[in-house]
Structure 1
Amino acid sequence: MAVEGASYTENAHHAFIFGQQHGAEFFDSAGKPQFTGHHHVMAVKQYIDFMATHKIANPSNAEYTTPNQPIGDFAKGKAGMLLWQSNAVSVLAAAGMKPDEYGVAPIPIADPLPPGGKRVNSHVAGINISVFKNTENRDGALELVKFLTSSGEQQILNKAFGSLPVVKDAYSDPAFQTPVIKVFQDVLANTAGPLPQVPEESKFETTVGSGMRDLFAKVASGQPVGEAEVAAALTKAQQEMGTGG
């Protein structure tokens, strides 16, 4: 399996996904970080264990910082699997891999789920657009939003970027009726969850994701990484949020 071990964003995204399956919420109802619970530790450990325990991720992946690296390994036959998003289809095509040379499947969901766990194997993401209340040209701004979210423009944009439309009508285009896209569409519709809806979400990605990056680096250098090491990394991440241990 190819992973982007040095990418704090990818690491944090998988901490969230596996966290949801383990019943871990990284922020409480008041928006205060809570990274150090046992279920948080087990969620992060599950991802790190691809390299640390199960040995299915090459230690060299601890240095991967861009999507082209794990996708390149997969396209060249150096890895048999990778966890990635819908735009991997266009990146794989650019790498010379044909659609009939690979298959797409959802990330497995634990069965049975741990107590409090949710059937989540992805997160809702994309490019946000909004209109400020005090904008000087509110009508023009709303027209732009209407245009960008129209079915026709969604088809143009998402075919160009290899992403998924945000409006259902856009899926009528044959480009979004392929078996591969239908898998991603089903995941987005049924088993994707939103990342923490708090002002410090980006800092969560930085602190937790960077901590996981360091854990991958330890594994790659031959150091043991178990529950204690994961717990220490998450405690440090929570402290870096400015809330204490």
Structure 2
Amino acid sequence: MKIAGLAITALAGLLSTACYADTTLKLVEVITSPERTEVLKGIVAEYEAANPGVTVEITSLPWGEAFQKLATMVSGGDVPDVVEMPDTWLALYAGGDQLVDLDSHIAGWAHGATLTDKTLAMGRQSGGKAYMIPYGFYLRAMFYNKKLLAEAGVAEPPKTMDEFMAASEAVSKLPGKYGYCLRGGPGGANGWVMMAATMNGSNEFFTADGKSRINEPDSVKGIQFLMDMYQKGYAPKDSVNWGFNEIVAGFYSGTCAFLDQDPDALIAIAERMPAEDFAVMPMPVGPAGKAFPTIGFAGWSIFKTTQHEDDAWNLVAALSSPEANATWSKRVGVIPIHKGADQDPYFKTEQFKGWFEELNGEAWVPTIMPTYLEQWGYFTSNVLKDSAQEALLGTKTAQEVADEWAAFLTDEYSKWKASQ
């Protein structure tokens, strides 16, 4: 009986040790959709198979409620180990000293050296430390219709703003055709910001003393550029009200030859246009030889409160590996993060070329919107949209709208600075 008792005790001890050794990681997904969640589950399952004893619990938050729900979880002590971190939230959590600096992990990672320079730069945008590894980019580049350009006698895609204007003019001389799918309605802020920055040669939103740069003389030239596109008839008349669906339809229907958009527009366009009829080029550069395409991204971060930092890092590394990231990028619709990804047959096409050139070329500097301003959403959705439409229709000058925008943004920046 003593032997049996000892055996039972030993077995209980082993079971207790095994249970104690098991690790559960909490991963929170915040940009949720059925497709994305299934892709995430697949990559996580491979990680679990390669890491016996580690289980990953995935919590998927609806995007519309994700910011508040995550904040509530964190403030209540229910902090995940790993979180899907949008670029617009990074400053909040990194600034609160809540995230692990991943630089040392990246330095010792087999795939750290293959992360693109812009991937690392974006991950380090808060305080210069890698508080996240981005998993892909929503980056503006220029779609162009090869047939329309050829028909208009445009020999090659435009590389500069002047060439872009000239090519748009040439296409607009064709019956019923236009150069540019202008987004004059909802969501058009990116276009105005990009053009102003490109003509100004800088994507800095504020001066050292906190004044908006949107009404500087060369920024005003960028605003005037879009106004000229519309008022000279190089964009459809009804494009003053166009949003995302309208500009994408305007391109794939052959109404206009140029469209600046993120990779998510490619899905609808590729379904409706033969691949040989269109391609994607980098945004045209301005007088300073630079262009400033807007960029959005999200990635993986680790909270400092984790009790399992090494396991959490291994999970982030698995999610960020070249193979996993390629799968994620193709299924979700983002530009991948590793050098050489553009050699994958899926991405090695004219339809992806422009985005990779922007990510790898010095002439293109990604622009991150100042979403840290409390009223930025109101500004883009209301103030900018309404006054931009007035400018397109000729009831306000470029200088007038630029001054209006600068006053609003300068005031918002002052409020934000005071709250820091």
TM-score (norm 2): 0.49
Aligned partner (choices 141, 144, 154) of residue 315 of structure 2: 144
Query: Which residue number corresponds to residue 207 of structure 1?
Result: 379
Distance 1:81 1:23, change over 3 A: closer
The one-letter code sitting in structure 1 at the alignment partner of 2:364 is A
2:342 maps to amino acid: Y
Greater shift in the superposed pair: 131-140 or 180-189: 131-140
In structure 1, what is the equivalent of residue 255 of structure 2? 78
Which amino acid in structure 2 is aligned with residue 162 of structure 1? G
Unaligned 5+ segments in structure 2 are 1-179, 416-420
Tell which has more relative contact order, 1 or 2 (C-alpha 8 A, sep 6+): 1
Secondary structure of the structure 2 residue equivalent to 1:133: coil
The match for 1:89 among 266, 271, 276 is: 266
| Number of residue pairs matched by the alignment | 234
Distance 1:16 1:201 in 2: 18
Match of 2:171 in 1: none
Q: Which residue identity lines up with residue 195 of structure 1 in the other structure?
A: T
Q: Which string of whole-angstrom CA distances, capped at 9 and with x for unpartnered residues, describes residues 112-140 of structure 1? A: x2xxx451242343223322223344334
Matches within 5 A, 1:85-234: 85-94=262-271, 96-110=272-286, 113=287, 117=288, 119-190=290-361, 191-196=363-368, 200=372, 203-204=375-376, 206-207=378-379, 210-219=382-391, 222-234=393-405
Confirm or deny: 8 A CA contact 1:218 1:224 kept in the other structure: yes
1:103 alignment partner AA:
A
CA distance in 1, matches of 2:306, 2:220: 44
The DSSP-based 3-state class of the residue aligned with 2:189 is helix
TM-score for both structures, normalised by structure 1:
0.78
Distance 1:183 1:196 in 2: 19
Instruction: Give the whole-Å Cα distance in 1 for the aligned partners of 2:211 and 2:312.
Output: 34
Letter in 2 for 1:174: P
* Alignment equivalent of 1:23, drawn from 198, 201, 204: 201
* Structure 2 counterpart of 1:62: 240
* 1:200 shift after superposition: 2.4
Structure 1: gaps (5+ residues): none
Partner residue, 2:214:
35
Structure ID, larger Rg: 2
| Matched position secondary structure for 1:143 | helix
Aligned CA distance change for structure 1 residues 228 and 171 (closer, same or farther; 3 Å):
closer
Structure 1: distance between partners of 2:280 and 2:210 = 35
**C-alpha distance in structure 2 between counterparts of 1:217 and 1:151, whole Å:** 43
Tell me how far apart the structure 1 counterparts of residues 261 and 368 of structure 2 sit (CA, whole Å): 20
Percent of paired sites with the same residue: 20
CA contact (8 A) 1:108 1:121 kept: no
Superposed CA deviations along residues 74-119 of structure 1, whole A, max 9, x for unmatched, are: 111222221122333222123x222112233322223xx2xxx451
1:188 deviates by 1.7
Cross-structure match for 2:70: none
Letter of the 1:62 partner, please give it.
Answer: V
Shift of 1:204: 4.6
